[in-house]
Amino acid sequence: MASDMVLYWGSGSPPCWRVQVVLEEKKLQGYKSKLLSFEKGEHKSAEVLALNPRGQLPTFKDGTTVINESLGICLYLENKYKTKGTQLICDDPKEYAAVYQKILESNNIIQRIGDIMQYSRRVPESERTEAGLQRLMEALSEELKFWEGYVQKMGAGSHIAVKNFTMADAVIFPIIAALFRFGVSQDKYPNLAKYYNSVKSRPSIQATWPPHWKENPDAVMDMLKNV
C-alpha cells in the first residue's frame, strides 16, 4: 500500500523525479513524500544514512523493504503493482527489449552529465583546463546526437522506446528536461525538443515537476549552453 512507502527526494534531480513519475503512473499517490535540500546537506542526514549508506537521493522504503537505486525503485514498483495504473514494461519480448535497451543506454547521458558536474568538484582548480572541460562538453554532445537520431527514427506521436509511454519515458524524460533547463539548445536538438515539448504535458510529469523550477519557470542556466 502506498501509505507504507516513504520517498526521500531532492528537487530537480532526474533520478528522484523518475521515481515520482512512476509512483504517479502506478496510482500510488498517498506515499510519504520527504523533500530534502541538497544545499543544506540533508541527503547526508542520519535519517537518510540509516537507510542508504551512500547518503544519496532517492532513498526509498516500502514497509521494511529498502531500495535506493532509482531504476531499481521504478522496476520494483512496476513488478509489485503490475496490473495497477499504467503498464510500464511491455509484455511482448521485442517491445520489452526496446524498453530495456533505451533505459539502460540512457546511463550514458547521466554519465556524461556527471563527468561535467564532477570536473569542478573532484579535480583541483590547478589541474583544470578549458580544454579539459570542453572535451567533456563534446562527449555529452556526441551522446545527445545518438538520442536526437533515436527520437527522429521513432517518428512523431511515438515515445522514446515504443509507441506508448513506458518505463523508458519515465526514466529518460527527466534527464532531457534537466538538459534543457541547464542550457542545452532546443534549436540544436530539434527532435529531442519535440519529444520534450510533447511529453511534458503528461499529468504524471506535470504533477511531479520540480518545485524549485516552478518558482522560477523561465530560468535557463547556461552551464550546458555549448553542448
Q: Which residues bind a second copy (CB under 8 A)?
A: 53-54, 62, 64-69, 71-72, 75-76, 79-80, 93-94, 96-98, 100-101, 103-105, 107, 111, 122-124, 127, 129, 131-132, 135, 139, 146, 149
Query: Cβ of residue 103: shortest distance to a second copy, in angstroms?
Result: 7
Select 148 or 200, whichever has its Cβ closest to a second copy. 148
Select 163 or 212, whichever has its Cβ closest to a second copy. 163
**Do 173 and 198 contact (CB within 8 A), yes or no?**
no
Query: Cβ of residue 54: shortest distance to a second copy, in angstroms?
Result: 8
Q: Pick the closest to residue 144 from 94, 186, 181, 104 (CA basis).
A: 186
CA 97 to chain centre: 20
Close Cβ partners of 120 (under 8 Å, ≥ 6 residues apart): 128
Query: Cβ of residue 217: shortest distance to a second copy, in angstroms?
Result: 32
Query: Cβ of residue 224: shortest distance to a second copy, in angstroms?
Result: 19
Select 103 or 180, whichever has its Cβ closest to a second copy. 103
Query: Cβ of residue 122: shortest distance to a second copy, in angstroms?
Result: 7
Q: Pick the closest to residue 7 from 33, 28, 44, 46 (CA basis).
A: 33
CB atoms < 10 A from the CB of 22, how many?
Answer: 27
Select 62 or 169, whichever has its Cβ closest to a second copy. 62
The whole-angstrom separation of Cα 147 and Cα 168 is 13
